[in-house]
Structure 1
Amino acid sequence: MDIRSRSESSRPDLVSLTEAADQFGVSVKTLRRRIADGTIHGYRVGRLIRVDLDELHDRLLVEIPSVR
């Protein structure tokens, strides 16, 4: 599939590890560990590694159940 033919909504919102770490309040090392253990996907762009913000919202943030 040609990347130019994909719709804008299907493109991942890729950001640097530093940007993602700042946004989620975690370390870059934590994101690297999550990529290594398969919790999240990393995308290589040349020598740079990027992550998808939408995927981080879905997989990195886990709701803590409350007891009532």
Structure 2
Amino acid sequence: MSQNKNLPTYLSLDEAAEMLSVSVKTLRRRISEGSLPGYRCGRRHIRVRLDELENTIRRIPSSDS
């Protein structure tokens, strides 16, 4: 009997950048500063988890007076 595990979805930096409408350079900077975890896949490829990418998006509070 196989178990259905909810495995995380990993995205390339190109895919993640397109999803957020930012540059790959911006994502690399966020990984470098520690605000977005990055995962090395092989020697050269870097991936980010979709759920962690979604967590970097924050709502801007409105300025209702």
Q: Normalization by structure 2: what TM-score?
A: 0.84
Instruction: Name the counterpart of 1:14.
Output: 10
Please state if 1:24 is matched with 2:20: yes
Structure 2 unaligned runs (5+)? none
Q: Which runs of 4+ in 1 moved over 3 A?
A: none
RMSD: 1.5
Which digits, 9 at most, give the CA deviation of each residue in 1:6-57, with x for residues without a partner?
9631x22101000000011000000000000000111111120000111111
Amino acid aligned to 2:23: S
Structure 1 unaligned runs (5+)? 1-5
Distance 1:27 1:38 in 2: 17
Which residue, 46, 53, 56 being the options, matches 2:53?
56
Which residue, 33, 39, 46 being the options, matches 1:43?
39
- If you compute each CA radius of gyration, which structure gives the higher value, 1 or 2? 2
State the identity %: 52
Question: Paired residues, what number?
Answer: 61
